Amino acid sequence: MAKYMVLIYGDAQQWDAMTDEQWRAHDAAHEAFVARAGAQIIDGQQLELASAATSLRSDALGQLNTTDGPFLETKEALGGYYLLEATDLDEVTSMVTLLPEVHATHSGVEIRPVVDHG
């Protein structure tokens, strides 16, 4: 089985504007995804807002620069992830269509295979 990282992106302002009813529907969709994926989920967590991030980069002289917040200026920020085991990308894609971020206009999901060095 291969491992796949499912990265969930969205607009924090849109998430903040959601009603209680919208949050219940959102959470129910994640619960449906978790139920479908079951033991194939190795890990998954919601992340703090991008404003809580710390970014590290080296400049041309090799000096380490630390900045608050995400490195890139973007409307959509990484909000959470799932790490899955699956037979192939088609299986992951099928499961991920249950996530509400796939269907909202202010968010999206990225799937990346995990490199196996072993």
Q: Would you list the domain boundaries of the chain? A: 2-113
pLDDT for 70 = 64
pLDDT digits (tens, 9 = 90+) for 31-78: 999 999 999 999 999 998 887 888 777 888 888 888 777 666 667 788
pLDDT for 59 = 83
2-113: which CATH topology? Alpha-Beta Plaits (3.30.70)
pLDDT for 67 = 79
Rounded Cα distance between 8 and 4, Å, is 13
Q: What's the Cα-to-Cα distance from 8 to each of 67, 77, 78, 103, rounded to whole Å?
A: 23, 8, 6, 12
Q: In the chain, what percentage of residues exceed pLDDT 90?
A: 58
Rounded Cα distance between 40 and 84, Å, is 5
